[in-house]
Structure formats: C-alpha cells, structure tokens
Amino acid sequence: MRDIFPWYFHSEADYEAIWGNGILTVDTNVILDLYRYNNSTREALLVALESFAGRFWISHQTAKEFIRNRRAVIADVSSDFIRASKPVDDVEKAAKSAADAIRGCRVIPKEFSKDLEVEIQKACQTIRGKIEKEKSEFPEYEASDDVVSRLEKALSDKVGTEPDDVENLLKEAQRRRDEKIPPGYMDEQKDGLGFAGDYLMWSQILAYSMEKGKPVILVTSETKEDWWEKKSGRTLNPRLELLQEAFEKTGQKFLIYHTDQFLRLHQEKSGTESDESILEEIREYSLAREPAVSVTQEASLQNNSANEGALLVSLSRPVKNFTSSGRFAPNLANVPEIHAKLTETPAGTPSFTINANTGTTYDFNVHVHSAERGAMLPVGEYLIEYHASCGDPADLEETDGVAG
C-alpha cells in the first residue's frame, strides 16, 4: 500500500528528512496571532519560526493578507485592556448591590456586608493593577514592531511573488468552492474574493515546492473541515485530498500541523521542555476562530422545479440562534417557495422558532431561534428537513416548535 499511497504513509526517515530539509511555511493567522499572544507564547513561536531561517518561506497571498490585516489586529488587541476592565467594574457594582441586600436583612450583623464589600473592592483593585501592568508592558507596535523586524530577518528573500495567472487561479478557486474541493470552500460566506484566499495560498505553496524540489511543513491556524478530517467532533488528520494533491503535483510529501502541534514537536526536537500553558493559549485562539455552526446537506429530490432534503447542523458551542445555508442543485427555474422543519435536536433544546427564506434560484437560508428568554440552543446536532418548490406554495408561515 505504501507504493500506491506514498502521500499518506510517512516513515520515521520521512519525518526526519522533511523537518531537516523541508520548507516551512505558515498561513496568515499564524503570524497575525503573534500580536494576539502573551509575551511568553509570542516568544516561543517566534523562536521556532526563526530556527528555520533560510528554509522559512511564505506565499505572496499570506504576506498580502498579513499587511492588509496587521493594523486592525493590533488595534483590536490593544482594546482588550479596556474590555478586560469592564467586567471588573461590573463585579464591583454587583458586590455593592449584594452588600446592600445583606444589610437589609436585620438578623445579619452589618459587618458581614461591610466585609464583603471591602474584600471585593480589594480583589478588584488587585486585578486592575495587574491589567495596568500588562498594559504598560505591552509592545508599542506602531512605534517599534519587533514582530515585523524578526519576521523580516527570518524571511530574508523568502516571500513569494504574485503569480502571473491570478485571474485563472480565481476561476479555479470558484470551481473548487462550488464543488467543495479543499481548501477554502468553508469560506464561501466571506465578502468579495475572500473565499479564494486559502486556495491562492495553497496553489502558491505547491508551485514553490515544485520549483525548489523540496517537501513542505505547512503550519495553519485553521480548524475547519476544508483543512481537516473530523469525526464526532474530533480532528483526526489533514484532509487526505490535500496530501494527495500536493504529492501528485510536486512529487513531494507534505506535513500539515496546527500551530500548537508544530510548536510542541519543535520543542521536543530542539530539546526544549514543552510549556502546556503556551500550547493551551494557542489552542484557545484557534478554537475561538472555529465557526459555531457546520452544515452538511443531503438532497433527496433534485430537479429544476423542486428540491428537498435535509441539513445536518452541528453546533460546537451554545448559541441563542443560528443560520444554516443550503444550495439548490440543479438551479431552480425561478425563485421558489421554501419550507423547513426541525425534526431532531439535542437533549435540553428549548422551544424554538424556525423559518426559511430565499431570494435566488441557487441557495437558501434557514434560521433557528431559541424562543425562551435567556435559554441557549445547546451543543449537538440538529436535523432540518426542507422542501422548495416552484409550483403551488405550501403553508410557509413561520412555525413555533418544541424540542422532542
């Protein structure tokens, strides 16, 4: 089997050869995250990237997205200090209200309420001081950007140039998106040409690997299913289609890692003790970017006058409401009437409302909202059955539902 599927099987010698001689490349968020991490995590990842100097290369697409988003990320991270202070203020106000309530209980000594207020204020002052200390030590990136300086040095003459055939690559990106060929089809909701970013990066990496005749280590912060095989909520391995395409086009083997996997392996290979708190911070940032909703569509009726089938929606975290999208295949003759019904829900799902809409002949949206104040839709799988028809409309009014 190793002869038939060489892109899948890797010997220990393969791993050593790729780590020892291969090209290291990363996606945009891996380097943008350097601004988001705390000092220890930032330093650990920069050291790991710098250790590949001479073999560290990034695509033109990655560099372009980094330049486009850098200032916005810095501004957002800087505002974290303001966001962190607000919950402290809220705790202090809540403590005062609680102390007032305790004072209203005549059988309770008044010093109890005073003790509560004093202790909470003391704790709030302590945490405010720590936040201010972190703020004072946070780099002034606009004045002096050590991240850019160190990346420029590590990437000396190792940033890809823009390809000549961008128009053709965009057409291919659109084809792959429509046919759900990885990577990037999960970005179809992005504005403009945003859906093409992952494929443009991927195609440039393949071209560079082919040009240099070298294997590749690709580090990505992506967690979506257009990069990773997933089963029952667990990430198993990189999409096999990516590994196969890379080998068939370049003749080289590729290793694809999440940022935390790469850093852990690098530390092991360099004899550095792994710091679990650093790896956990990286994982937290990656998970925060993972969409709460993933959708699988299965059609049972497909023609140009009617479509019906089901959407299997997986929620990775509780939400008040969610929207799932589906596509008509083939495109319908005209804009249809559409009806959707939620037939299966996780245990503990509150009562809900569901409605579907479309204004096109090629796609539709289904919206599910919790109907109970303060109640969230729980993590798990939701089965939505839909029917779209260009004929006589059925009763399509918004419906109320109660989880079964």
**Per-residue pLDDT reduced to its tens digit, 289-328:** 666 788 889 999 999 999 999 999 988 778 888 889 899 9
Give the pLDDT score at 370: 93
Beta bridge partners of 294: 314
Considering the domain architecture, whether residues 29 and 152 belong to the same structural domain is answered as: yes
- Most confident segment among 109-123, 314-328, 356-370, 383-397: 356-370
Range of 302's domain?
A: 293-401
Beta-sheet pairing, 216-220 with 254-258 = parallel
Q: Exposure pattern of 130-143 as b/e (b: 16+ CB <10 Å)?
A: ebeeeeeeeeebee
Considering the domain architecture, whether residues 191 and 278 belong to the same structural domain is answered as: yes
Say which amino acid occupies 399. Answer: T
Task: Give the pLDDT band of residue 393 (cuts 50, 70, 90).
Answer: very low
Q: How far is CA 299 from CA 53, 103, 187, 335, 384, in A?
A: 50, 63, 22, 18, 12
CATH number of the domain encompassing residue 239: 3.40.50.1010
Considering the domain architecture, whether residues 229 and 331 belong to the same structural domain is answered as: no
121: in domain: no
8 A C-beta contact, residue 299 and residue 311: no
Beta bridge partners of 229: 237
CATH number of the domain encompassing residue 392: 2.60.40.2080
Q: Which two tokens stand for residue 345?
A: 């829900």
Cis peptide, bond prior to residue 139, ω within 30 of zero: no
How many structural domains are present in the chain? 2
Give the pLDDT score at 397: 38
> Last residue of a domain, which of 272, 289, 306?
289
How far is it between the farthest Cα atoms of the chain? 83
Q: What is the pLDDT of residues 110-121, one digit of tens each?
A: 788 888 888 898
Considering the domain architecture, whether residues 297 and 278 belong to the same structural domain is answered as: no
396: in domain: yes
Q: Which two tokens stand for residue 296?
A: 């699988």
> Last residue of a domain, which of 266, 289, 312?
289
> Last residue of a domain, which of 270, 289, 308?
289
8 A C-beta contact, residue 272 and residue 43: no
Q: What is the pLDDT of residues 255-291, one digit of tens each?
A: 999 999 999 999 999 888 878 889 888 888 777 766 6
The phi, psi pair for 58, rounded to 5°, reads: -125, 150
Considering the domain architecture, whether residues 274 and 323 belong to the same structural domain is answered as: no
